[in-house]
Amino acid sequence: MSDWSAAAISSYSHKDMPWLATKEGKEINYELVFYREAPFSVRNYGDEMEEQ
């Protein structure tokens, strides 16, 4: 994503659950990050545990 334009990042993020679930002009509830689905929330906790 480091090579994405601001418009591309905005378009991508506006398809994510926290954005979609929040009414326009309202603050996005941080707890909504726990309801994200791929490709917006991809994390392998097992890899982090192996590195420690």
Tokens of 32: 């909504």
The pLDDT tens digits of the residues spanning 1-52 come to 789 999 999 999 999 999 999 999 999 999 998 888 888 887 666 655 555 5
Angle CA 37–39–40, to nearest 5:
65
Instruction: Look at residue 44 in the predicted model and tell me its pLDDT.
Output: 67
In a domain, 11, yes or no: yes
Report d(CA 28, CA 50) in Å as an integer.
33
Could you give the residue ranges of the DSSP H alpha helices within 1-52? 6-13, 17-20, 45-51
In a domain, 38, yes or no: yes
In a domain, 1, yes or no: no
Instruction: Look at residue 22 in the predicted model and tell me its pLDDT.
Output: 96
- Give the range of the structural domain holding residue 13, as residue numbers without chain letter: 6-51
Long-range contacts of 13-16 (CB under 8 A, 24+ apart): 15/40, 16/40
